[in-house]
Amino acid sequence: MGASLSPFASAPLPVRGCALLVHALDCHDAHARHREEHVAISFNGGKDCTVLLHLLAAVLLQRHPPPSSSPSAPPPWPPIPSIYVSQPSPFPLMESFVHLSEPYYSLSLHRTSNLGMRPALASYLHLRPQIRAVMVGTRRADPHGKELDFCQPTDRGWPDFVRVHPVINWRYEQVWAFLRQWDVPYCELYDQGYTSLGSTYNTHPNPALRRPDGTFRPAYELEDEALERAGRDDSVRGPPGATEPAVAAVEDGKEGRGSRAKAAAGTVAVAAAAAAGAVGAANGYALHGKEGDGAPQQQAQGLRGAEEEEDVLL
């Protein structure tokens, strides 16, 4: 399975989503785009952060041309700093997809489980103190997504970094247009009628996709974006203390969050490039070789679906 990233001109929906972010690159010093070690990505295997990760890979492919054309060659870019905060009772297919994505995208993945969001982030930043910004796949349709800016610091009391939302203005249909246009691997739960995923005990196939025979149509056939979370019962939180259902709220208009947030101004261009740079820079490239190449495609074949818990911080 090829994961083509070009030509973007033939994919109008993804292009519109990316074009909304092009202006962000013009606001930052050009050299800041190379400070990749200061930016991490939150990846839990969900459809939105999969789009985000694939766009980031397109940008990195431009900066780090492959030294070899061998189909079995690993990604040519340095390992991508990333964090995966797993949910209580995660879907096995989600866990498998995240695992296979590590070598496929060259992720340096820090995994946490049985931790609340705050201690998980505190642990990660203790291990990676150079991280100043984290890219997150949150969209407007997600809980707490309507008021978010493209980039902003976390709230007081949370670990200090800038969160960046390159796909914040993408619609549900744009996400699926991108994934399907470029044959991007995703976990198979999405093909089983799941449209938004939390834990196994509070997530079901979307009833809006139910067929008369009791089976479910795939997630990309959902027509009403407002029903994206119709298969979720967020009132069921599982065992007490299993998760921390809190959001790192933002403080509009407030500055001076500390040295990490102040220093992040020169690094968020890397995150912006994940969505914007791919529009003009990824033409002519295909991620991990051509169709039929190598283990990454073969391993990821058929794994289409994932955990998506964007109502928490990451």
Is the CB of residue 186 less than 8 Å from the CB of residue 308? no
Pick from 127, 142, 133: which is nearest to 47 by CA?
A: 142
Q: Could you give the CA distance from residue 106 to residue 91 in angstroms, rounded to a whole number?
A: 23
Q: pLDDT tens string for the chain (314 positions)?
A: 333 333 222 333 333 444 543 433 333 333 344 477 888 999 999 999 998 898 888 878 777 777 766 666 778 888 999 999 988 899 999 999 999 999 999 999 999 887 777 888 899 999 999 998 888 899 999 888 888 888 888 888 888 988 888 888 889 999 999 899 888 999 899 999 999 988 999 999 999 999 999 999 999 999 999 999 999 987 666 644 444 333 332 223 333 344 443 444 344 444 444 444 443 333 333 343 333 333 333 333 333 333 333 333 33
* Coil/strand/helix, residue 102: helix
Q: Could you give the CA distance from residue 288 to residue 293 in angstroms, rounded to a whole number?
A: 8
Q: Could you give the CA distance from residue 253 to residue 297 in angstroms, rounded to a whole number?
A: 45
Q: Could you give the CA distance from residue 293 to residue 284 in angstroms, rounded to a whole number?
A: 17
What is the layout of strands, in order, in the sheet containing 133-135?
107-112, 80-85, 39-42, 133-135, 162-164, 151-153
Peptide bond into 66 cis (omega under 30): no
Is the CB of residue 125 less than 8 Å from the CB of residue 161? yes
- Which domains, and CATH codes, for the chain? 3-300 (3.40.50.620)
Question: Whole-model pTM?
Answer: 0.72
Q: Could you give the CA distance from residue 132 to residue 135 in angstroms, rounded to a whole number?
A: 10
H/E stretch holding 134 reads strand 133-135
- Tokens 């103190």 belong to 129
